Amino acid sequence: MEYAALVQLYEQLEHTSKRLEKTNILAEFIQHLPEKEYEEVCLLIEGRVFPVWDERVIGIASKLVLKAIALATGADTEVIEQQWKKMGNLGDVTEHIKKKKQQATLTFAVLTTRKVFDNLQKIAAIQGTGTVDKKLSLIVDLLTSATPKEANYVVRTVLEDLRIGLGEGTMRDAIIWAFFGKELGIQYSAHDNTFKLPDDNREQYNQYALAVQRAYDLTNDFSLVARAARKGFTAITTLTLIPGKPFNVMLYPKAESITEAFDAVGTPAAFEYKYDGFRLQIHKIGTQVLLFTRRLENVSAQFPDIVCAIKEHVNLDTCILDAEAVGYDSITKKYVPFQKISQRIKRKYDITKMSRDYPMELVVFDILYSKEKDITQEPFRQRRTILEKAMTQQKQIIRLSEQLITDSATKAEKFYQQSLAAGEEGMMVKNITAAYQPGRHVGGGVKIKPILDALDVVIVGAEWGEGKRSKWLASFIIAVRTDDGTFQEIGRVGTGFKEKTEEGTSFEQLTELLKPRILTEKEREVLVQPTIVIEVHYEEVQESPSYSSGYALRFPRFIRLREDKGPHDISTLEDVKRIYEKQRGRTE
């Protein structure tokens, strides 16, 4: 397929903020997309060339792209930098410069999606002598062939900053509209941006939406979902977990009380400790063990102790487990908070020493794949029985989660207090007959925590400090996620950080993390790629016109870096609204 056709789609999506219109545009595109091009084009639509769980990244800095633009266009680097500061987007700068040069160019080569896809994948694979020059050559090759508009989006894709406002929900709905729209009687009116569906088909639409979402949560691959949808609804329901490929783990909404929890999951219910560690999904395939975080990062190399524990204590040849890795003090053997062990997630060196200094216990609470079979549809109680038979326990190495099954609120409350006394975060409450539902807050269980919700937010901008902090970013603009996958600002945080890295997460450490992600810089303000997630506490949520969310956190304070979470895991605008309304209920 010609890359120009994809660029036309990018432009259409970028030029509307209306989710329904985006859905319609994308549905029409997917509907006519040749099946053989699903994999590369679906990824390029998302602004990537590797699946979200793939360890490979394009990994090109803005400065190298700037050099590539200069080589491809003949423009002076200083001129490009000036335009960059003025326009704020290197893609737009490239288009502007190429337009000015267009009069002197007779023809452009026809650029294809395959060419773009292949070149960008090759960039990630290049290693050894001459790496920078080889990567530069591949980018220049694309920019030289590209039209001005194509060059714009090539640069954005290289920098992994597509900016077309396309979220996971829109992709999901577009697949439904594309392949089941006629069957369901879906009608979209561009005139007033409305979506109409016959009343008799609403239940069926919801059924299809749940199936498509589940298929994506199981595979994290829209090309697989689209290919299945093209064959019909039944094909979607046959997609299953694939050992070795991470899925979106099941997450739980918050309940305010045990009574509310019983109402949500039924009685009797399974109560389990909510551990203060980080989530791991574990894939065992013969002698190979793969560990993935909630943000689908492969951290197998960072945790050889956990890999060893799985090999020694899990007696299944192939399985997928859901677990929590909990740290403990190597001397006192007491459990320690998450932030004490979080540094192990990103560690690439001295791993053996880190394993000794920050030992971990794996707490396993579910099994989702066993004996060559996806068992997510089995009732939770049955999965727990399978899990108990599949592993042997050893204290501070690997064990099952503490569990109580009861219909008694009194017993549940006692168990909850035991959890808190043990230093855990709270309690999970699970429906014992429910299937495992991959995805975010989709039901089947709830969590109970004793404190006002902390929020997981993503950093979208920052400001350079003053005085002794002038060399660091010291005030961070934070945002929450909306339903369509975009981010809305909710305040700034500058307290809770340490002056010295050895004391905890410091301004210097966060600055080093954010520097490679800076997109634009104007005077002391920078905008950054929304990838770094932090947890914040606050006094209350207030309405505010100063931030795009319409809300602001009063006295936000940094608590910890959440390296185990990605931007798709953060708190939502709906979470903020719920907290705000709950506050109002308390004060009225």
88 secondary structure, DSSP code: S
Per CATH, the homologous superfamily of domain 455-587 is Nucleic acid-binding proteins (2.40.50.140)
466 secondary structure, DSSP code: -
Could you give the count of Cα atoms lying within 13 Å of 37 in the half-sphere of its Cβ?
20
Q: What's the confidence (pLDDT) of residue 450?
A: 72
Instruction: Report, as residue numbers or ranges, the catalytic residues.
Output: 274
This prediction has a pTM of: 0.79
Q: What's the confidence (pLDDT) of residue 253?
A: 87
Beta bridge partners of 396: none
**Residue 116: strand, helix, or coil:** helix
Q: What's the confidence (pLDDT) of residue 588?
A: 36
Q: What's the confidence (pLDDT) of residue 102?
A: 64
The amino acid occupying position 161 is D
SS (H, E, C) 273-298: EECCCEEEEEEEECCEEEEECCCCCE
Chain region(s) in the chain for CATH 3.30.470.30: 258-448
**Distance between CA atoms of 452 and 559, rounded to whole angstroms?**
14
Dihedral sign, CA of 373, 375, 381, 382?
negative
Taking the CB of residue 301, how many other CB atoms lie within 10 A of it? Answer: 12
Q: What's the confidence (pLDDT) of residue 484?
A: 75
Q: What's the confidence (pLDDT) of residue 168?
A: 86
Instruction: Write phi, then psi, for 423 (nearest 5 degrees).
Output: 90, 15
Q: Which CATH architecture has domain 258-448?
A: 2-Layer Sandwich (3.30)
What residues contact 156, with CB distance under 8 A and at least 6 apart? Answer: 47, 89, 90, 91, 162, 163
Q: What's the confidence (pLDDT) of residue 555?
A: 86
Q: What's the confidence (pLDDT) of residue 107?
A: 55
Tokens at 444, concatenated: 């089947």
Q: What's the confidence (pLDDT) of residue 452?
A: 60
Tokens 């010295």 correspond to what residue? 500
CB 45 within 8 A of CB 152: no
Tokens 């088909």 correspond to what residue? 201
Residue 530: asked if its preceding bond is cis (omega within 30°), the reply is no
Tokens at 391, concatenated: 């592993």
Instruction: Return averaged pLDDT per consecutive 10 residues of the chain, 588 residues in all.
Output: 96 92 96 93 94 86 91 91 85 91 63 96 89 94 94 94 86 95 92 90 93 94 95 95 95 90 96 92 97 91 94 97 92 78 76 83 97 95 97 95 96 94 89 92 82 84 85 93 88 88 84 88 86 90 90 91 87 89 56
Q: Identify the burial level of 250 via C-beta atoms within 10 angstroms of its C-beta, where 0-12 means exposed, 13-18 middle and 19 or more buried.
A: buried
Instruction: Write phi, then psi, for 552 (nearest 5 degrees).
Output: -140, 145
What residues contact 577, with CB distance under 8 A and at least 6 apart? Answer: 551
**Distance between CA atoms of 477 and 104, rounded to whole angstroms?**
44
Chain region(s) in the chain for CATH 2.40.50.140: 455-587
